[in-house]
Copies of this chain bind each other. A is one copy, B any other.
Amino acid sequence: MKGTVGELGEFGLIDRLTSRLTTTPAVRLGPGDDAAVVAAPDRRVVASTDLLLEGRHFRRDWSTAYDVGRKSAAQNLADIAAMGAVPTALLLGLVVPAQLPVTWAAELMDGIRDEAQVAGAAVVGGDVVRGDSITVAITALGDLRGHEPVTRSGAHPGDIVAYTGWLGWSAAGHAVLSRGFRSPRAFVEAHRRPEPPYHAGPAAAGLGATAMTDVSDGLVADLGHIAQASTVRIDLRSGLVDIPSQMSDIGQAVGIDPLQWVFTGGEDHAIVATFPPDVKLPARWKVIGEVLGPSAQPQVTVDGAPWTGDGGWDHFGDAET
């Protein structure tokens, strides 16, 4: 087996990568032609693109290729779910240095494939090019199954705010890793490999969600996009947030209030949505606030006051940013 991408060549690498893929009934034509063909039964297709760069979005010494693949795919698939759609397909653009081991690229592909499978989707095509540093460009497609897309602009005063999935786990894991530790394992793994609640997106659309997004930049920041687009104020209640005891322990150890992770940590791809107040939410949704306004100054507040970052939540007197 040829060891590096440069030795194998681009066509060889494409063969090696596509040979690892699986398919679904939605894939009408998979990789190998000028373009792929994917079922879009709703007569509308939902589409989103994201880029991940080595050094900026992942580190090869912190994450395996497989985990980078899982994470890259998760990030895109979560965007589809957050519109209320069911993910159907991924396309992969991959820039690889000539010295990159073929095994790294193959394991990346395995991670992307497996995460797509978790979400019910398949990798249908892509492009591979040699370049100086690893870049992963993923486009995800999805189907609305008759629901209207749930945008960021539909939140109404009186709506409740609820989320499902994980909040702050990736940030806590990052704090652990950046101090040179490898445990607690649950948080390190959450940083390496998020688990977005894909099914919850379409389910929320079915429950009448008025606005929805996935938490990629942090809860306050991402709800800020909803507040802005809906011209409302969103108030979160810190007392409604459950902090797992292990997360509190890490916070104490590293001198950071875990609420900081919950409110500003990104990358877990929890799904947060606003719902009419009379909605009956399934058990795994957690209500954490309400929609106020309409507001001339759309913003997210916590317990009625602007979120002031770590300073405002410096319970340990030793917080870092």
Which residues of A line the B interface, CB within 8 A? 28-29, 32-51, 53, 56-57, 79-80, 82-83, 85, 89, 91-95, 124-127, 129-133, 135, 137, 139-142, 144, 149, 151-153, 212-214, 229
Contacts and interface: CB of A to CB of B under 8 A. Distances in A.
B83 A33 contact: yes
A124 B175 CA distance: 36
A49 B125 contact: yes
Contact of A132 (B47, B132, B149, B151): B132
B56 A46 contact: no
Given A34-B212, A37-B47, A49-B126, 19 more contacts: A29-B149, A33-B149, A34-B80, A34-B213, A35-B83, A36-B48, A37-B144, A40-B42, A45-B141, A51-B93, A51-B127, A53-B129, A53-B131, A56-B129, A91-B139, A93-B93, A93-B139, A132-B133, A135-B135
Contacts of A39: 43-44
A78 to B, nearest CB: 8
B135 A49 contact: no
Contact of A46 (B36, B44, B51, B213): B36
B51 A129 contact: yes
A47 to B, nearest CB: 5
A34 B93 contact: no
Contact of A93 (B47, B49, B129, B151): B49
Given A49-B127, A93-B50, A129-B53, A37 B141 contact: no
Contacts of A37: 44-47, 83, 144, 149
Contact of A40 (B34, B40, B149): B40
A152 B47 contact: no
Contacts of A41: 43
Contacts of A35: 46-48, 79-80, 82-83, 85, 140, 142, 149
